[in-house]
Amino acid sequence: METAIQTTAQLPQLAHARNPGMPLDLDWVASVQANTSAIERRCATLGGRRSVKKDFQAAWLLKAISLIDLTTLSGDDTWGRVERLCAKARQPVAPWMLERLGMQGLTVGAVCVYHDMVETAVRALEGSGIPVAAVSTGFPAGLSPLHLRLAEITESVKAGAQEIDIVISRRHALTGNWQALYDEMRAMREACGPAHVKAILATGELGTLRNVARASLVCMMAGADFIKTSTGKEPVNATLPVTLTMIRAIRDYQDRTGVKVGYKPAGGISKAKDALLYLALMKDELGLPWLQPDLFRFGASSLLGDIERQLEHHLTGHYSAANRHAMG
């Protein structure tokens, strides 16, 4: 087991420069297409062709934990809930399981909260090295005035957020106003200052995979460090076809500019088996560098609990009740 764990869960962190962006290239944007039937066919076969079992599955699940943005974005969030979530982020798996799996020092990738909870999360995570991500810019609709969205970003960074998850104005993508989307994204990137920016496309509201591909490219041109599928509040959130579309845009952007941009699927990923499919797709399409927290994250609130249950089953042969793996 030890070899399997080390080859996937303990890969070294990879450092790379932030995405500086580039001038908007409308010819490149207009040339982008998406073959929906081919994309869906590729994704439909993924589960049958990419399967890991036993020790190797446990290793991949540990890797998945290190990539989770552990999230609470509810209207009834309290300081106590966020503190419990941060405690879970520090110790995501029971110590006895980690010991038997040959792991130590495992944490999640980040904790994601509303702006009002940033200071609480920063205090609770002090000394852990786990960054705090704030959802800003009128999340989830992104329809507040631009100057207020930019001010919210500034306040979140002042409060200690190291990552900012912004939402784009969907109308720009739906109407093909790529210049407006670029200008908006560029302004948000500048407002983030030293904080990394994740651009949420709300792909379930963009209509077509072609719009998803083009919006992904425009946000990267404007300097997004990550592109992210969803707020988690749309009727349809992260899917494998959307993921394939976005990560191929990431690959094209790197081929053209030499810059690595991260990817974050969010919303609806709650089962360990689903996380394995996303990891397999990332490895197939972008390679091992994109299996590190600086280039890949899961936006999730319940995924960790199911992964814990699967790891306990791997070690004991029995499934435990879900309530034994609460968030905090």
Alpha-carbon distance 302 to 293, whole Å? 18
Catalytic residue, chosen from 228, 260, 274, 306, is 228
Q: How far is CA 27 from the centre of its chain?
A: 29
**199-205-210-212 Cα dihedral, nearest 10 degrees:** 10
Question: Is 264 among the residues known to form the active site?
Answer: yes
Alpha-carbon distance 308 to 320, whole Å? 9
Catalytic residue, chosen from 63, 88, 165, 306, is 165
Question: Is 260 among the residues known to form the active site?
Answer: no
Cβ contacts of 241 within 8 Å, gap of 6 or more: 36, 39, 40, 43, 209
Alpha-carbon distance 268 to 308, whole Å? 18
Question: Is 306 among the residues known to form the active site?
Answer: no
Alpha-carbon distance 36 to 34, whole Å? 6
List phi, psi (to 5°) of 129.
Answer: 80, 0
Instruction: Name the pairing type of β-strands 226-228 and 262-264.
Output: parallel
Catalytic residue, chosen from 225, 264, 274, 306, is 264
The answer to whether residues 45 and 281 touch, using CB atoms and an 8 Å cutoff, is no
Active site residues: 165, 228, 264
